[in-house]
Each structure stands twice: as C-alpha cells, then as structure tokens.
Amino acid sequence: MKLYNYFRSSASFRVRIALELKGLAYDYVPVHLVKGEHKQPQYAAMSPSLLVPALQLDTGEHLGQSMAIIEYLDETHPQPPLLPRDPLARARVRALAQLIACEIHPLNNLRVLKYLVRDLKVEEEAKNAWYRHWVRDGLEAFERELAQLPAGTYCFGDTPTLADCCLVPQIFNGRRFDVDFDGLPRTMAAFDACMALPAFQRAQPSSCPDAEG
Amino acid sequence: MKLYNYFRSSASFRVRIALELKGLAYDYVPVHLVKGEHKQPQYAAMSPSLLVPALQLDTGEHLGQSMAIIEYLDETHPQPPLLPRDPLARARVRALAQLIACEIHPLNNLRVLKYLVRDLKVEEEAKNAWYRHWVRDGLEAFERELAQLPAGTYCFGDTPTLADCCLVPQIFNGRRFDVDFDGLPRTMAAFDACMALPAFQRAQPSSCPDAEG
C-alpha cells in the first residue's frame, strides 16, 4: 500500500496511526499541502476531491477520507480491532471520532484558515482565536461525552479505537496553536495513554520523512 | 425510538431519511436550535455535546452524531441496507458521506455562522458568500468523485445509501442560500432520484411537525 499524505495533516495522521496499530507496512508518499501539490493534475487524478490522505491499495485502487479508510482497514485487516463488536459500542466510538472529524477539525484546516485571511480579511490574532475557540469548544464537548462512558485507558475501553486515531492528531494540532487543555482529564489521559504506545509515536508528525521543524 | 431533532438541521434530516428508508417508526421530538433549546439542562443531560440529532433507543440509551446513528440503524436493522457489503464499496459510500459531513456541512452550521457575525464582524453578504463558497466548492469535489464511479441511479449504485442520506439535506441547505447547482449532473441526478422516493419526501423539513415557513 501507498499512503499519500502530509506530515502535519491531521487526517493523514489518523490513517498513519491505524496502519501502525495494525502493523501494516506502507510506502509514505509526501504531498506538500502548503506548496499546493494536492492540486497538481497527477494527484487530482487519484484524489478528485484534492484532499489528503489517499490510500493506494496494491490493486491500484485509491481510497479517500480518513475515517472511511480506517474502517476499510478494520474490515479487511480485523486484528487488532479499531471498533468494538457490539453495535451500541460501535456507535459510541464512531460518535466520538465524528465529534472531532465533523465538529472540530473541519473549521481549522488550511483552506479554511486561508479563506479567513484572504477573503474575510481576518487578522492573525483573530484567526488564532477562531482556531483555539473551535478546538477548545469541541474538546469540552468531547470531555462531557467521555464523562458519560465507563472509565477506560483510552477514549473507549482499554484498547485504542477509531476515536483515539482522531483524538491524538487533534491534540497535536491544538498544541501548535497554544490551545488550553486544562480541565479535560479524561481526554488528556486518553491522549497520554496513546502516546505511550510505539504505534502512535511512529505515526506522529516529527517521525515522518517530510517533517519540517 | 425517539428522535430529538430540528426540522431545518441537516444532520437531523439525514437520520430521518434513514429511519424512513428502513420503515422504522419513531417519535419526533422537536428541539428548537434558534431558541437555544439544545443548551437547556434537560437536553444537555441526554446529549452532552449539545448537538442535534439525538436518538433515544427503547432501552433509554441515547446516541449522537448522525452518521454514527445511521450506521447503528444499519447494523441493527439491516434491511434495506444503507451500505454495500463489499469493503471497497463500503469505503466509497462512507467517503462520499464524509465529503459532505466533514468538508461542507461543518463550515455552514448555525454556530459557525453566528461566530462569523458576532466575533469576526462579518457582514451579511460576506457571510452568505462564505456559505455558498463551501457548498459549491464541496459539491464540485463531490461531483468529481462521482464521475470516477460507475453510473447509477443514486450516489452509489441503484439503491439509496448513507451517501444519499447526507447529500439530500446538503442540497436543501444550499437552496436556502441560493447556491448555484449548475454543472453538477451526477450529483443533481442522484438528488432528483432520491426526492422521487416517499421516504425522502416524508423526511424533508417541510414535512416535519415543527416546520416553519
């Protein structure tokens, strides 16, 4: 398999974690978002939505959207599972993942920040406040959801799931913008537990071949 | 089952479509977002993330996040299926759904539009341009993804899927803001095919008990 991705992309990071947790080997193909490499014809032919990551299977097929890719990996390489077996538990894990992937991250990705600055003439400090607002607001909601679940090492239970694959990159992104993580005990305990695992360490931006300072 | 939702909420509309496609009876409980009813303590106890929709099961459990709810319904009430059986096909449907639920809709929901106006002092016309930009940009990406798939009546194949549950509410929302839908032939053909079905008709905002003009 080949993963077309960018070291700093949160959605790319999610898929790298899943690949590492499952022990699946892959070729890392860097796509430099800031240089606009995702908009070049060669990449567009593979990912018409011009988004990273894209996973190229050994059959030549391409898959997009990080959560869809992770569920595909989980269905085709079931061990270790990234979703529980019980439908209600699966719904809880998916809801946690979507709370990050549908409520927090979309507001803060590169193209949105660019629109704020270029089209809405938002100043640097107001842009950063926007960023921090949505991360903090979203993580507070995440924490309240976790508080209603049984205690566990990770977001849901005692093994990492799709929810952890989404949480960890969001915390990394939040750190870059100095988000305040105080008062989020369950969330940050899950993050710390994840980062103690080699799979998460190997997937992190600073471990990527295209990492920049 | 009880569905806590709002007639105009796109995420609520997705779940109503799934319930109707599966022929599942449910009680409709309106939660008025504009009046802030989702922030009241009674609702917060059920949905700590303060989002609609929330599905209350007959066991008393609550589920949040529309795509997670729909997958739960599909796993517990498999007929008619809203996802194909083949893992690659499932990934394609999920990616289409996420292209809407993670790339378009999050930028245009009520709390984001409020932040633009209240915190960033964005004028009405610039706010509407923001709205149209993300819907149009996202639907063009959606159309390019559809163009790479085999022809079908709906977004993926000849039966409605999770992708259609997400597409149709997004088109309704776009219409409210006069988005230009020209040049999106596959997307709009899937929309029209969906709206010819009674399930989509019954789920639409104007059919809801809390509908306003």
Q: What does the H/E/C string look like for A34-75?
A: CCCHHHCHHHHHHCCCCCCCEEECCCCCEEECHHHHHHHHHH
Q: ipTM above 0.95?
A: yes
Of A51, A95, A119, the CB nearest to B68: A95
A9 lies in the same domain as A59: yes
Cβ(A194)–Cβ(A160) below 8 Å: yes
| pLDDT higher than 80, residue B61 | yes
Locate the chain B residue with the closest alpha carbon to A104: B106
Structural domains in chain B (count): 2
Query: Is the CB of residue B94 less than 8 Å from the CB of residue A67?
Result: yes
Digit-coded pLDDT (tens) for A121-156: 999 999 999 999 999 999 999 999 999 999 999 999
Chain A residues whose CB is inside 8 A of the B119 CB are 126, 129-130, 133
Do B75 and B12 fall within a single domain? yes
Measured in angstroms, the CA of A107 and the nearest CA of chain B are apart by 6
When mean pLDDT is compared across A33-37, B9-13, B118-122, the lowest value belongs to A33-37
Instruction: Collect all residues of chain B within an 8 Å Cβ-Cβ radius of residue A98.
Output: 65, 67-68, 101
Within this chain, do residues B51 and B22 fall inside the same structural domain, yes or no? Answer: yes
Q: Which residues of B touch A145 (CB under 8 A)?
A: 48-49, 64
| Contact criterion met (CB < 8 Å) for B71 and A48 | no
Provide, rounded to the nearest whole percent, the portion of chain A with pLDDT above 90: 99
- Looking at the structure, do residues A103 and A187 belong to the same domain, yes or no? yes
Q: Do A127 and A63 fall within a single domain?
A: no
Residue range of the domain that includes A162: 87-200
Contact B102 A107 (CB under 8 A): no
How many angstroms separate the CA of residue B42 from the nearest CA in chain A?
15
Averaged confidence pLDDT in chain A: 97
Instruction: Tell me the percentage of chain B whose pLDDT exceeds 70.
Output: 100
B-chain residues near A122 (CB < 8 A): 120
Q: Name the residue in chain B with its Cα closest to that of A75.
A: B87
Residues 6+ apart with CB under 8 A from B38: B6, B31, B44, B47, B50, B51, B52
Q: Looking at the predicted structure, is the pLDDT value of residue A83 above 80?
A: yes
Calculate what percentage of chain B has a pLDDT beyond 90: 98
Residue A213: pLDDT above 80?
no
- A76 with A139, same domain: the answer is no
> Distance (Å, rounded) from C-alpha A21 to C-alpha A175?
23
State yes or no: pLDDT of B125 exceeds 80: yes
More confident residue, B170 or A109: B170
Structure confidence by residue, pLDDT tens digits, B68-114: 999 999 999 999 999 999 999 999 999 999 999 999 999 999 999 99
Which domain-ending residue is among B40, B61, B80? Answer: B80
Decide if B48 and A144 are in contact by the 8 Å CB cutoff.
yes
CATH number of B44's domain? 3.40.30.10
Would you say residue B208 lies in a domain?
no
Render pLDDT for B20-50 as a digit per residue (tens, 0 to 9).
999 999 999 999 998 999 999 999 999 999 9
pLDDT, tens only, A63-72:
999 999 999 9
A88: nearest CB among B61, B101, B120: B61
Are residues A110 and A44 located together in one domain of the fold? no
A141 contacts B95? CB cut-off 8 A: no
Residues B168 and B112 in one domain: yes
CA distance A44 to chain B (A): 10
8 Å CB contact of A119 and B129: yes
Give the CATH number, domain containing residue A107.
1.20.1050.10
According to the model, what pLDDT value does residue B213 have?
A: 77
Q: Please, which pLDDT band fits residue B175 given cuts at 50, 70 and 90?
A: very high
A48 and A92: one domain?
Answer: no
A211 within domain boundaries:
no
- For the purposes of burial, counting CB atoms within 10 Å of the CB of A9, is it exposed (0-12), middle (13-18) or buried (19 or more)? buried
